[in-house]
């Protein structure tokens, strides 16, 4: 069986006593194994990172950028193979896996501009003969802990920014689809990075705890579910680390009575069911405003959902593939059971779905639930599957309130032709990322990404200038170059200096 290995100091680290199986979700077969590392293994990576980071930080930013440019070229050359490998472990269709790689590369492109992005600030003559300047310096060793659902994009978001800023980086990817992260680290080495600058350690809670407790790791970026995000944020910050931790989501799509419903149905189908709903920026809740809008929308949604093609990850015509593991399949089906018991109307039922010829694959049929209410547990919690819930709002105020009061605040979208309503909604809604007639509002790489409430713990976002702030610390220098001898009797020296 194929063995995935750690990537430490530029090479493999050998076997481990504990391993985790990697499925092929389309066939239901185990296709590989990944070792689960421990604190001793992490320490090897930390030592390699310590050996190389100071020199990397002292390398001028233009040279650091050259490694980023070369890495981008290498990833682009290998994009098809990376997408196929990613899709075989995750289950998302190959075209969607291309998007996973591409959205990560866009942050690498931003990181290619590191000489410009890292320029500091300077004030000449802040006082008599005094200049002040500030610069941003790297933290040292950073770590990233990533989820299964974007095994290329999210690691690149993190290490692209961290390494360009002068840090060494240790990545702990999801144990469910770890092969692409390892390949990315190999390509980074090939691009000219020194051994030990970007390393990959595999593992589960034991490895994550070792990362949180390692005194040499200065900062942790986490993306995954909210309870674990909160745990990592609390324990990491208690250990004196800088931590940003992004959690789960339940994004709402508000449909105003004046919206173009054909366009909305098209957008919703992709945003709710693409990647089998396993996206933190999916739209699993639709909120039509008014009963008439709800009825019209439902009427158009039903045939559109019936027309969706579920297929194996390599099926070029499939809209989406299997979910990641058999446990996840049964969890999604249990959520549909719960919703039904709570009183939701199961309009289209994806439970018990089986794909002919691939009966052992982890497929869940597209599901539509109507008359879902805010009190239902199936509404309050994240399902992370191909399940769309209709929550009917009586008016605009209720439509603003629903996402604003939900425990998650990652993304939200409003569909309308009314600029005033859209503007009002964008300003008032208590959610981190807003789309106006844009169903998946993941900001471009030169803005930044991050949700609110239980979708994001910490103060800074991913990538863009916010990401750079997370991976660096500000140093402020006040300088004076006197041209004569000091005045021995200068009483002013005893008074707090002001620039007055
Ligand atoms: P997960 O929380 O199960 O795993 C994330 C990471 O945490 C993995 O590397 C995993 O090995 C590690 N981990 C798992 N259990 C742990 C434990 N008990 N202690 C310490 N570490 C542990 O998440 P997942 O299932 O891989 O990913 C899906 C989740 O990620 C969803 O909730 C989704 O909304 C969220 N997500 C959020 C964003 C965002 O930006 N907010 C982006 C993508 C995914």
Percent of the chain with pLDDT over 70: 99
CB neighbour list of residue 169: distance below 8 Å, 6 or more residues apart? 49, 141, 142, 143, 144, 158, 159, 162, 163, 197, 198, 199
CB neighbour list of residue 17: distance below 8 Å, 6 or more residues apart? none
Note the pLDDT of residue 488.
61
Residues in the chain: 500
Q: Which of 21, 181, 209, 225 to mutate to test the pocket of ligand 1 (most atoms within 8 A of CB)?
A: 225
Tell me the C-alpha distance between 468 and 123, whole Å: 22
Note the pLDDT of residue 486.
62
Q: 142 CA to middle of ligand 1, Å?
A: 18
Q: In the numeric block, which tokens belong to residue 419?
A: 């600029």
Q: Of 445, 435, 489, 487, which is closest to residue 466 (Cα–Cα)?
A: 445
CB neighbour list of residue 425: distance below 8 Å, 6 or more residues apart? 254, 396, 399, 400, 414, 434, 436
Q: Whose CA is nearest to atom 10 of ligand 1?
A: 174
Q: 356 CA to middle of ligand 1, Å?
A: 31
CA 214-145-176 angle, to 5 degrees, is 125
Q: Which of 18, 224, 454 to mutate to test the pocket of ligand 1 (most atoms within 8 A of CB)?
A: 224
Phi, psi torsion values for 202, nearest 5 degrees: -100, 160
Strand partners, 20: 34
DSSP annotation of 458:
S
Tell me the C-alpha distance between 84 and 423, whole Å: 41
Q: Which of 100, 147, 170, 407 to mutate to test the pocket of ligand 1 (most atoms within 8 A of CB)?
A: 147
Q: Of 365, 385, 156, which is closest to residue 282 (Cα–Cα)?
A: 385
CB neighbours (10 Å) of residue 63?
A: 11
CB 305 within 8 A of CB 269: yes
DSSP string of 403-438, one letter each residue? HHHSSEESEEEEE-S-HHHHHHHHHH---SEEEES-
Q: Whose CA is nearest to atom 17 of ligand 1?
A: 205
* Catalytic residue (one of 271, 280, 289, 422): 280
Query: Which element (helix H / strand E) includes 399?
Result: helix 396-405
Closest ligand 1 atom to the C-alpha of 203?
11
DSSP annotation of 360:
T
Closest ligand 1 atom to the C-alpha of 410?
41
Q: Whose CA is nearest to atom 43 of ligand 1?
A: 280
Half-sphere exposure (Cβ direction) of 349: Cα atoms closer than 13 Å: 11
Torsion of CA 381, 172, 30, 249, to 10 degrees: 20
Q: 457 CA to middle of ligand 1, Å?
A: 13
Residues with CB under 6 A from ligand 1: 145-150, 172, 174-175, 204-205, 208, 223-225, 228, 246-249, 280, 382, 384, 410, 451, 455
Q: 146 CA to middle of ligand 1, Å?
A: 6
CA-to-CA dists, residue 432 to 18, 69, 358, 470, angstroms: 39, 31, 39, 17
Query: Which element (helix H / strand E) includes 497?
Result: none
Q: Please give the distance of CA 156 from its chain centroid, rounded to a whole number.
A: 10
- The three-class DSSP label of residue 389 is strand
Q: Please give the distance of CA 214 from its chain centroid, rounded to a whole number.
A: 23
Edge-first strand order for the sheet with 387-390 is 345-348, 367-370, 387-390, 285-288, 252-255, 411-415, 433-436
Strand partners, 435: 413
Closest ligand 1 atom to the C-alpha of 224?
30
* Pairing between β-strand 252-255 and β-strand 411-415 as defined by DSSP bridges: parallel
Closest ligand 1 atom to the C-alpha of 227?
2
Strand partners, 138: 472
Radius of gyration of the chain (CA): 25
Note the pLDDT of residue 17.
86
Note the pLDDT of residue 497.
79
Q: Of 144, 168, 162, which is closest to residue 52 (Cα–Cα)?
A: 168
CB 452 within 8 A of CB 440: no
Torsion of CA 107, 110, 114, 120, to 10 degrees: -110
Q: Whose CA is nearest to atom 21 of ligand 1?
A: 205
112 is catalytic: no
pLDDT tens, per residue, the chain with 500 residues = 999 999 999 999 877 789 999 999 999 999 999 999 999 999 999 999 999 999 999 999 999 999 999 999 999 999 999 999 999 999 999 999 999 999 999 999 999 999 999 999 999 999 989 999 999 999 999 999 999 999 999 999 999 999 999 999 999 999 999 999 999 999 999 999 999 999 999 999 999 999 999 999 999 999 999 999 999 999 999 999 999 999 999 999 999 999 999 999 999 999 999 999 999 999 999 999 999 999 999 999 999 999 999 999 999 999 999 999 999 999 999 999 999 999 999 999 999 999 999 999 999 999 999 999 999 999 999 999 999 999 999 999 999 999 999 999 999 999 999 999 999 999 999 999 999 999 999 999 999 999 999 999 999 999 999 999 999 999 999 999 988 766 666 777 788 877 76
Encode pLDDT of 139-174 as tens digits: 999 999 999 999 999 999 999 999 999 999 999 999
Closest ligand 1 atom to the C-alpha of 450?
40
Q: 201 CA to middle of ligand 1, Å?
A: 16
- The three-class DSSP label of residue 2 is strand
Closest ligand 1 atom to the C-alpha of 280?
34
């Amino acid at each position: 069986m194929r063995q995935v290995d750690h990537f430490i100091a530029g090479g493999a680290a050998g076997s481990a006593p504990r391993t985790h199986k990697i499925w092929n979700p389309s066939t239901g077969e185990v296709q590989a194994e990944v070792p689960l590392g421990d604190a001793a293994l992490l320490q090897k990576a930390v030592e390699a990172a310590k050996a190389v980071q100071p020199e990397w930080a002292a390398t001028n930013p233009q040279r650091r950028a050259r490694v980023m440019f070369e890495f981008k070229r290498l990833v682009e050359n290998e994009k098809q193979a990376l997408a196929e490998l990613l899709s075989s472990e995750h289950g998302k269709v190959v075209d969607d896996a291309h998007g996973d790689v591409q959205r990560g590369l866009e942050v690498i492109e931003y990181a290619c501009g590191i000489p410009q992005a890292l320029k500091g600030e300077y004030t000449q003559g802040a006082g008599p003969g005094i200049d002040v300047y500030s610069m941003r310096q790297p933290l040292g060793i950073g770590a990233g802990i990533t989820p299964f659902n974007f095994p290329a994009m999210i690691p690149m978001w993190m290490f692209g920014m961290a390494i360009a800023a002068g840090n060494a980086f240790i990545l702990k990817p999801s144990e469910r689809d770890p092969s692409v992260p390892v390949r990315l680290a190999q390509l980074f080495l090939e691009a000219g990075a020194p051994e030990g600058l970007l390393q990959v350690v595999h593992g589960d809670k034991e490895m994550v705890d070792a990362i949180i407790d390692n005194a040499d790791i200065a900062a942790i970026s986490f993306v995954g579910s909210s309870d674990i995000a909160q745990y990592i944020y609390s324990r990491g910050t208690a250990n004196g680390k800088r931590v940003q931790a992004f959690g789960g989501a339940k994004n709402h799509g508000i449909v105003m009575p004046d919206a173009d419903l054909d366009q909305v149905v098209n957008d919703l189908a992709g945003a709710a069911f693409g990647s089998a709903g396993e996206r933190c920026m999916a739209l699993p809740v639709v909120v039509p405003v008014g009963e008439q809008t709800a009825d019209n929308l439902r009427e158009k949604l039903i045939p559109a959902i019936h027309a969706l093609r579920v297929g194996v990850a390599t099926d070029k015509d499939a809209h989406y593939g299997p979910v990641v593991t058999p446990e996840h399949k049964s969890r999604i089906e249990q959520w549909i059971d719960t919703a039904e018991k709570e009183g939701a109307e199961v309009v289209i039922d994806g439970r018990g779905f089986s794909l002919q010829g691939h009966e052992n694959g982890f497929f869940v049929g597209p599901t539509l639930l109507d008359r879902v209410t805010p009190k239902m547990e199936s509404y309050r919690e994240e399902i992370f599957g191909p399940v769309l819930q209709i929550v009917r709002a009586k008016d605009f105020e209720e439509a603003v309130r629903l996402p604003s009061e939900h425990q998650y605040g990652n993304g939200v979208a409003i569909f309308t032709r009314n600029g005033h309503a859209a503007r009002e909604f964008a300003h008032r809604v208590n959610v981190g990322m807003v789309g106006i007639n844009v169903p998946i509002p993941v900001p471009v790489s030169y803005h930044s990404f991050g949700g609110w409430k239980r979708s994001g713990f910490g103060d800074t976002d991913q990538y863009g200038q916010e990401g750079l702030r997370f991976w660096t610390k500000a140093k402020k220098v006040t300088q004076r170059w006197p041209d004569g001898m000091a005045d021995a009797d200068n009483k002013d020296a005893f008074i707090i200096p002001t620039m007055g």
